[in-house]
Amino acid sequence: MKTINTKTGTLLFSIALLAGSCGVNSTKILSQHELKPETENVKYEKVKAGHRTFYSEIIIDATPEQVWSVLTDFKNYSWSNTIKELTGDFKDGGTVNVVYYNDYEKEKTTTYTHVLKVIDGQEFSWSDPFAGGMVDNHIYRIEDAGNGKTKFIQIDGCKGGATWMMGSAVSKYQLTNYPKFNRRLKAEVEKRY
């Protein structure tokens, strides 16, 4: 397994994004995941050249407390295809190191440091610079969907920096990988509970 330091990882991630930034066909990418409209919802928007947004949700057959328990069990993240590990001070205003998979199948990773916003039991997020000076606003949110079910929401995007040039590739990564993360979280929660 190869871990890439932040500086090298940012450069390689930027090159990969540039190579794939010729455009995003969200319909084609989403159809690859065979979204289930009764339990899943995914939206992508190019607000303008320098601003992209991503929204996804999935219904999980478990309580919000159970979903939060699995989502924040960072020592047992073997099910995740986007985050390998999160270490540090997991609290509102805390600083954490997040090891991301650049390529899950090849186990290539990059580490970024984030300052967290945490609403215990409901949401955690960060909004920090990453490759090419872009800033994301990544949110993991849990909402009670009633009848012992939970709506898990994952929101992200990119803005500023090189978004005008690399935003399509970032959006392609989100559209390809975040619905998989949501489904893996659902499967892990429902397996544990």
Greater pLDDT, 15 or 138: 138
User: Which amino acid, 22?
Assistant: C
Q: Is the pLDDT of residue 85 over 80?
A: yes
Which single residue is written with the structure tokens 């930034």? 21
User: Which amino acid, 77?
Assistant: Y
Residues in CB range of 131: below 8 A, 6 or more apart: 10, 13, 14, 17, 162, 166
pTM here is: 0.77
168-183: average pLDDT: 83
Q: Is the pLDDT of residue 78 over 90?
A: yes
Which single residue is written with the structure tokens 């794939």? 20
Residues in CB range of 169: below 8 A, 6 or more apart: 16, 17, 18, 19, 20, 21, 24
Q: How far apart are the first and last CA of the chain?
A: 31
Q: Name all domains of the chain by residue range, CATH numbers in brackets.
A: 2-192 (3.30.530.20)
Q: Is the pLDDT of residue 122 over 80?
A: yes
pLDDT score for 155: 92
C-alpha 54: how far from chain center: 10
Q: Is the pLDDT of residue 15 over 50?
A: no
Q: Which residues pair with 100 in a beta bridge?
A: 83, 110
Helices 163-192 and 6-19: crossing angle, nearest 10°?
110
pLDDT score for 171: 74
Q: Is the pLDDT of residue 4 over 50?
A: no
Distance of alpha carbon 181 from alpha carbon 71, whole angstroms? 11
Most confident of 5-9, 35-39, 76-80: 76-80
For the chain, give the mean pLDDT: 80
pLDDT score for 164: 67
Structure letter (DSSP) for residue 20: T
> 44: closest CA among 188, 33, 113?
33
The token pair at 107 is 């186990």
pLDDT score for 44: 78
pLDDT score for 173: 76
